Amino acid sequence: MENQEITPKQIMLNYGLLLGFAAVLINVALYSMGKTYEPHWSVGVISIGVTVVIIILGIKKIKELNNGFLSLSEALKTGLGIALISGIISVVYMLIFSNFIEPEYFARMMEVQQQKMLETYPNFTDEQLEASMEMAKKMSGPMITSAITIIGSLFFGFIIALIGGLIMKRSDEEINSI
């Protein structure tokens, strides 16, 4: 049996799938508990924690493949690859969720946002509320939400990979200078 070599693309794919499915699992758990529209703040903390751990583990795996060496560009490429795959999985889930599981998702989300605006800003005039809801409606369609999800995933993936890469980077020059 041939010994197959693991490539950086396989690592990005595996860890990206892992992160994407973790995000879907969190969303399914929220839906099953009836907290889709108003999740607890701890869900965001858990999501960020899971994202950090999985991206860092992916970068660490790349470092292991390179015999302990890691450049910042390799870390960034790996982190962005993982984040992109995860973002795509999240978008696919969101599209399935909003079209088949909860077809009224965007309309109900608008109701929740309107209620929160009224609670937060009780002095809002009807015109201000209407303008705010119009803007929210423009930003809440499936295409805009998909784009925001991908961009947000890449942004946070970049930040995590940048910090992780700066901490874990190690090159030949660093070893030879010791």
pLDDT beyond 70 at 176: no
Q: Which pLDDT band holds residue 3 (cuts at 50, 70, 90)?
A: low
Q: Which pLDDT band holds residue 154 (cuts at 50, 70, 90)?
A: very high
Measured between alpha carbons, how far is residue 13 from residues 44, 55, 96, 123 in Å? 24, 11, 21, 49
Least confident range from 30-44, 80-94, 131-145: namely 131-145
Query: Model's pTM, two decimal places?
Result: 0.91
Q: Which pLDDT band holds residue 70 (cuts at 50, 70, 90)?
A: very high
pLDDT beyond 50 at 1: no
Among 102, 109, 115, 111, which Cα is nearest to 140's? Answer: 109
Q: Which pLDDT band holds residue 139 (cuts at 50, 70, 90)?
A: confident
- Sign for the CA dihedral angle at 29, 47, 18, 145 comes to positive
Q: Which residue has the tokens 């030949």?
A: 172
Share of the chain above pLDDT 70, in %: 94
Q: Please list the alpha-helical segments (H only) found in the chain.
A: 8-32, 41-65, 72-96, 105-120, 126-138, 142-168, 172-176
Share of the chain above pLDDT 90, in %: 75
Please write the tens of the pLDDT for every residue from 14-50: 999 999 999 999 999 999 999 999 999 999 999 999 9
